[in-house]
Amino acid sequence: MLTYELKKSPGVPLYEALYRCIRADILSGNLKPGEKLPSKRALSQNLEVSKITVEGAYGQLLAEGYIRAQEKVGYFVEDIPQSVHVPVENPSAPVDPEASAELQSGGPEHFPFSVWSKLQREVMLDYGERLLLPMPNQGIRELRCAIAEHLAGFRGMHVSPENILIGAGTDFLYNLLIQLLGRDKIYAVEDPGYGKIRKIYSAGGVRCIGAPMDHCGVRPECLENADVLHISPSHHFPTGLVTPVQRRQELLSWAEGTERYIIEDDYDSEFRFDAHPMPTMQSLDRKGRVIYMNTFSKTLAPSIRISYMVLPTALMETYREKLGFYTCTVSSFEQYTLARFLSRGYFEKHINRMRKFYKQRRNRVVSALNGCAFANLLQIREEDAGLHFLLKVDTELSDEALTALCARAGIHLRTLSSYYRGEAPEEVRHHLVINYAGLREETLEQVLKNIEKTP
Amino acid sequence: MLTYELKKSPGVPLYEALYRCIRADILSGNLKPGEKLPSKRALSQNLEVSKITVEGAYGQLLAEGYIRAQEKVGYFVEDIPQSVHVPVENPSAPVDPEASAELQSGGPEHFPFSVWSKLQREVMLDYGERLLLPMPNQGIRELRCAIAEHLAGFRGMHVSPENILIGAGTDFLYNLLIQLLGRDKIYAVEDPGYGKIRKIYSAGGVRCIGAPMDHCGVRPECLENADVLHISPSHHFPTGLVTPVQRRQELLSWAEGTERYIIEDDYDSEFRFDAHPMPTMQSLDRKGRVIYMNTFSKTLAPSIRISYMVLPTALMETYREKLGFYTCTVSSFEQYTLARFLSRGYFEKHINRMRKFYKQRRNRVVSALNGCAFANLLQIREEDAGLHFLLKVDTELSDEALTALCARAGIHLRTLSSYYRGEAPEEVRHHLVINYAGLREETLEQVLKNIEKTP
C-alpha cells in the first residue's frame, strides 16, 4: 500500500500534496506502468486523510494522463517515459486568449476599473520621469519579474525574467518568432485549428502545413516534414482536447536532439474550472525546445495588448543578437501598471471572479440546452477547460444548413468541420462550437427553437 | 509686379498667406521658371505689408525649394514640374522620432504628467466598459480622427481617418508593410542613413539596397532596381538634409505609373525651429504611391508606443483584404487618452514647449562650441530642422580616433562616415553627428577640451 507523510504546507491543499507524491513515484518508476493503485477508500484509511482528498489527487492525475480509470475495476498507472522529471511545484492557472477574435472574451463587466485606475495613478506618481526613458527592448524588468512569479505560482513553471519577452499581442510575437526561427522552416499548425494562426504564418511568408490530430492531440508521426510545431496542448481550439502527458512526451521527443521547436500556445488555461490545469510542456522540456506563449488580452480585456513569450536560454541569446534592436511594443505605463496588478494579487482575484462568472454562464447555457424540447437530440462534449464546448446535434441537416439556421436566428456559430483545412471526417459533422463566454442564453434558446421548427 | 489681396484669416499669419499665393502662381505657371521675383522692399511697398512679412514668405519658398536666391541679385523661380498641385493648407509641424534609439528624445521633464493622468482617468470614467471591447483592427476611430485633424492643421495634409492605421511603433509598421507590399520586392534605404531601418528590412526577409544621396537627397537615377523607397525627405538622418521640392517631384515620378512605393518617414518634423516644415511628399502625391509614417514616441516619450501610417486608398483596401485579421497592437486605453490629448490641443502646446526647450539647448551647445579655444577649427552644419546637426572638425585625426576620443570623455558620438554602408566619400570625414536633444553642454565642453589637448 502507498504510504506518504503528507506535510501540511501553507497554500498547498492536502490533495495536491498527495497528487505530487504519487506523480513523483510514477515518474521515478516506483510505481510501474500498468500497476493498480489502491482504491480511494483503502488509501484514505491508510493515510488517514478524507476520501475527498484522495479523490482530488486521483482526479488530477487522471486529468493529466498519469493514470487511467477502468470502470468498476480501479485506477492504473499509465506508461509514462521515465526520463522526464516534472518540476511543477504548484500547478494552477494562466493562458493566451488573444489568439482569438472568435474566442472572444466575455464579461468586461468584471474588469476592475477602479483598481486599474488607481494603479495607473500610482505608477505615474511613483515612477515619474523614469516612465519616459527608453525602456529595455525585452520589456521592463518589473513586469517580467511579476510574470515569472505568476507563472511559478499558477502554472508551476520555473522561468527566469531574463527569458521573458514582452510584446503587444501574440500576432506580433508570432511574427518575431518567424524572424527568429527562420523563414526557411516549415511550420505545422493544428488541423482542425484556429484559423488566424495559419493566416499569420502565411502572411509572414513561411510554409505552413496542417498537423493532423487524433483523440490525444497532434500526431507526432505526421510531423516528419515540419520544423516548428504550433500547438495548444492545454486546451485545443475548437475541439477542447487536452493533450495527455504521454503524447506531450512524444511530441517533445519529436523536437529533441534536432533543430525543431514547439510553440506552446497556452491561450486559455486560466479558465479551467474543476481541476488544476495540466502542467505546461515548457515545464517538461529539458532540451530547450519549447517556446511558451501567453497573453493578458483574454484574461483582462481584448483591448489590452500585452502578451509575452518565454524563450529557452539559447534561443533568447540568439534573439538578443539577431533581433535585439527591436523596440518593445508595449508602452511603459501599461507595463508598470500590469506589473503591480500582478504582484499585488489583483490578477489572481480577477481570474477567480472571472472563472466563477464563466462557470455560471456555462451552467446556464447547459441548463438551457438540457431543458429544451429536443434535449435528447443534443450532446455536450467538453473537456472541463476553457470557454467553449462542442454541441453535437442529432440532425439530418448539413453543417452548412445548421450554420445558416443559427445565423438566421442572429447567432454566429461555426461547426467543428469548418475548422478543418481540407474535408472534415464524417464523425465530426453536426458539432457546433459554443463559445459560452460571449453567449446569451436568450439568444441560444431562440436558436434552439429555430432548429426545433425545422423539419 | 505681383499683386495679391492678402486676406486676414484666423490662425494664418500674413506671411503664410503671401507664401501660398506665390506658390500657387509658381505651380500654376503664372510665374515661370527662372523669372525674377520683385525685391522684398518693392513687394512690401506694393502690397502694403511689412518687409518682414515678405521675408517670411520668401524664406519659406526658399526652404521648400520653390525659389532660389542669388547673392546680391535677387530671387528666382525654380523649375518645378507643372503637373503638381500642392493641397497644403496650413503646413506646420509633426514627425516620426522613434525610428531612432540614437535619435534619443531629450527632455522628459517636459512631459505633461498631470494632463495625461487626468485624461486617463477621464477616459476610464467616460468610456467604461467600452474600453474592454474588441477594437477595430485599424485603431480606434477617435484617435484616427484626431490624427487626421492634427495632420491637417500641422502638416497641411488632407487625410481620411479611414486611411490611417495605428500600430505599436514604427518597427512594427515596417514589418506590416513588408507583408503588404511583398517580400519579393527590393527595398531601397538612404545611404548614409539610420542603420536600424536597414536591420528591420533585412530581418523581415527582404532584399535591401542602399539609395545613394547627393546634396538634394536620394538620387532617382540610382533607383532603377528598387521597388520601394524608404526616405525621410523632411530631415534626413544623419546629414540633416531637407529634400527640395524639385527632387521630391523627381522621386514621385520614379514611383508613378509603376508598382513602386515611397515610404515617407517623417520622423522629426515637429522640431523645425525657424520656419514651417516642408510639405510632405504625401501631400504632393496624386497617384497613391506614398505611404506616410510618423510616431508619437519621439514627441511624447520613447516609452509611449503609438505610431501610425497613412496608406493610399487602394493600398488600404488591399491591407484590409490581406492583413485585416491582425489585431491592433495599441491598447485602447492609450489610444483614447492620446485622442483626447490631441483633440484638446495639449499636444500642440507640448510640442511648442519642447521646441522652445530644444532650441535653447541647441543654442547653448552652439555657444559652447563657438566659445571654445579652437572654435576656428569647428564648423556647424545644420538645416534648421530636427534635433541634431553635423559638426565638422578640422583635425588630422581619423574618424575612428575622433570617436574614440569622445568615448574616452564619456560621450558617445558617431561620425557621419559611420552611417555609410560602404566606404564614405573623402569629403564627409571629420563630421561628428551631434544629437543635442540628449546632450549636456558640460559633457560637450569636456569633449572639446579633450580634443584640444590632443596633438
CB A101 to CB B134 under 8 A? yes
Amino acid of residue B204: G
Residues of A in contact with B143 (CB under 8 A): none
Average pLDDT of the residues in A161-175: 96
In this structure, are strands A207-214 and A217-218 parallel, antiparallel, or unpaired? antiparallel
Decide if pLDDT at A267 tops 50.
Answer: yes
Cell numbers of B115, please?
A: 494632463
CATH architecture of A115-347: 3-Layer(aba) Sandwich (3.40)
Number of Cα atoms under 13 Å in the Cβ half of residue A160? 7
End-to-end, the C-alpha distance of chain A in Å comes to 59
Written in H, E and C, the secondary structure of chain A is CCCCCCCCECCECHHHHHHHHHHHHHHHCCCCCCCECCCHHHHHHHHCCCHHHHHHHHHHHHHCCCEEEECCCEEEECCCCCCCCCCCCCECCCCCCCCCCCCCCCCHHHCCHHHHHHHHHHHHHHHHHHHHCCCCCCCCHHHHHHHHHHHHHHHCCCCCHHHEEEECCHHHHHHHHHHHHCCCCEEEEEECCCHHHHHHHHHCCCEEEEEEEECCEECHHHCCCCCEEEECCCCCCCCCCCCCHHHHHHHHHHHCCCCCEEEEECCCHHHCCCCCCCCCHHHHCCCCCEEEEEECCCCCCCCCCCEEEECCHHHHHHHHHHHCCCCCCCCHHHHHHHHHHHHCCHHHHHHHHHHHHHHHHHHHHHHHHHHCCCHHHEEEECCCCCCEEEEEECCCCCHHHHHHHHHHCCCCCEEHHHHCCCCCCHHHCCEEEEEHHHCCHHHHHHHHHHHHHCC
Handedness of CA A344, A347, A351, A357 (dihedral sign): positive
Residues of A in contact with B301 (CB under 8 A): 131-133
Decide if pLDDT at A94 tops 50.
Answer: no
Decide if A42 contacts A3 (C-beta within 8 A): no
ipTM score for this prediction: 0.75
pLDDT given at position B205: 92
> Using one digit for the tens of pLDDT, what is the confidence trace for A132-155?
888 899 999 999 999 999 999 888
pLDDT given at position A275: 59
Q: What is the DSSP letter of B162?
A: G
pLDDT given at position A88: 30
In chain B, which stretches have pLDDT less than 70?
7-12, 80-109, 272-277, 383-386, 410, 441, 450-455
A327 vs B171, B175, B203: nearest CB: B171
> Using one digit for the tens of pLDDT, what is the confidence trace for A223-243?
999 999 999 998 888 888 889
- Tell me which residue of B235, B212, B218, B238 sits closest to B425, measured CA to CA: B212
pLDDT given at position A101: 29
Looking at chain A from residue 346 to 365, which residues have their Cβ under 8 Å from any Cβ of chain B? Answer: none
Average pLDDT of the residues in A71-94: 55
Handedness of CA B1, B2, B5, B9 (dihedral sign): negative
Nearest-10 crossing angle of helices B51-63, B14-28: 50
pLDDT given at position B26: 82
Partner B contacted by A183 (CB < 8 A): yes
B199 vs A171, A204, A325: nearest CB: A325
pLDDT given at position A186: 97
A305 vs B121, B301, B329: nearest CB: B329
Which ranges in chain A are annotated with CATH 3.40.640.10? Answer: 115-347
Average pLDDT of the residues in A99-121: 65
Partner A contacted by B115 (CB < 8 A): no
Amino acid of residue B356: K
Mutation site for B-interface testing, chosen from A122, A327, A328, A334 by largest number of B Cβ within 10 Å: A327
Decide if A257 contacts A226 (C-beta within 8 A): no
Q: How far is B136 from chain A (nearest CA, A)?
A: 10
CB B129 to CB A120 under 8 A? no
> Using one digit for the tens of pLDDT, what is the confidence trace for A309-333?
999 999 999 999 999 999 999 999 9
Which ranges in chain A are annotated with CATH 3.90.1150.10? Answer: 357-453
Mutation site for A-interface testing, chosen from B105, B176, B305, B307 by largest number of A Cβ within 10 Å: B305
Residues of B in contact with A302 (CB under 8 A): 132-135, 327
Q: What is the Cα Rg of chain B in Å?
A: 23
Looking at chain B from residue 131 to 170, which residues have their Cβ under 8 Å from any Cβ of chain A? Answer: 131-135, 168-169
Percentage of chain A surpassing pLDDT 70? 87
pLDDT given at position A301: 85
- d(Cα B340, Cα B123) in Å, to the nearest integer? 9
CATH architecture of A357-453: Alpha-Beta Complex (3.90)
CB B325 to CB A196 under 8 A? yes
CB B322 to CB A117 under 8 A? no
Q: How far is A124 from chain B (nearest CA, A)?
A: 7
Nearest residue in B to A296, CA atom = B331
Amino acid of residue A244: P
- Tell me which residue of B293, B307, B295 sits closest to B263, measured CA to CA: B293
Q: How far is A297 from chain B (nearest CA, A)?
A: 9
Mean pLDDT of chain A: 84
Residues of B in contact with A128 (CB under 8 A): 113
Q: How far is A46 from chain B (nearest CA, A)?
A: 52
pLDDT given at position A90: 28
Judged on CB neighbours under 10 Å (0-12, 13-18, 19+), B107 is middle
- d(Cα A213, Cα A195) in Å, to the nearest integer? 15
Partner B contacted by A175 (CB < 8 A): yes
> What's the predicted TM-score (pTM) here?
0.77
The residue with cell 534536432 is A258
> Using one digit for the tens of pLDDT, what is the confidence trace for A3-56?
787 766 665 678 888 888 888 788 777 888 888 999 888 888 888 888 888 888
Write out the H or E segment, with its range, that includes residue B57: helix B51-63
B196 vs A297, A325, A331: nearest CB: A325
pLDDT band at A89 (very low <50, low <70, confident <90, very high): very low
* Fold exhibited by the domain A1-94: Arc Repressor Mutant, subunit A (1.10.10)
- d(Cα A389, Cα A444) in Å, to the nearest integer? 14
CB pairs under 8 A between A and B: 151
Quick check: bond before A238 cis, omega within 30? yes
pLDDT given at position B357: 84
Which ranges in chain A are annotated with CATH 1.10.10.10? Answer: 1-94
B303 vs A109, A131, A326: nearest CB: A131
CB A124 to CB B117 under 8 A? yes
> Who has greater pLDDT, A189 or A105?
A189
Beta-carbon contacts of residue B433 (< 8 Å; ≥ 6 apart) = B238, B388, B390, B391, B413, B414, B415, B416, B419
Q: Which range has highest mean pLDDT (A179-183, A354-358, A386-390)? A: A179-183
> Using one digit for the tens of pLDDT, what is the confidence trace for A381-422?
876 656 788 989 888 888 988 888 777 776 778 899 999 988
Q: C-alpha distances in angstroms, A243 versus A65, A248, B382?
A: 8, 7, 63
B129 vs A108, A179, A196: nearest CB: A108
Residues of B in contact with A183 (CB under 8 A): 205
Looking at chain B from residue 272 to 331, which residues have their Cβ under 8 Å from any Cβ of chain A? Answer: 297, 301-306, 322-323, 325-331
Amino acid of residue A350: H
CB A327 to CB B169 under 8 A? yes
> Using one digit for the tens of pLDDT, what is the confidence trace for A248-262?
999 999 999 899 999
Partner B contacted by A30 (CB < 8 A): no
B215-223: long-range contacts at Cβ-Cβ below 8 A with a sequence spacing of 24 or more?
Answer: B215/B241, B216/B241, B216/B243, B216/B244, B216/B246, B216/B247, B217/B241, B217/B243, B217/B244, B217/B247, B217/B248, B217/B251, B218/B188, B218/B190, B218/B243, B218/B247, B218/B251, B220/B247, B220/B250, B220/B251, B220/B253, B220/B254, B223/B188, B223/B254
pLDDT given at position B7: 67
Partner B contacted by A333 (CB < 8 A): yes
Q: How far is A99 from chain B (nearest CA, A)?
A: 10
φ, ψ (nearest 5 deg) of residue B255: -85, -30
Residues of B in contact with A117 (CB under 8 A): 120-121, 124
Residues of B in contact with A199 (CB under 8 A): 325
Nearest residue in B to A198, CA atom = B325
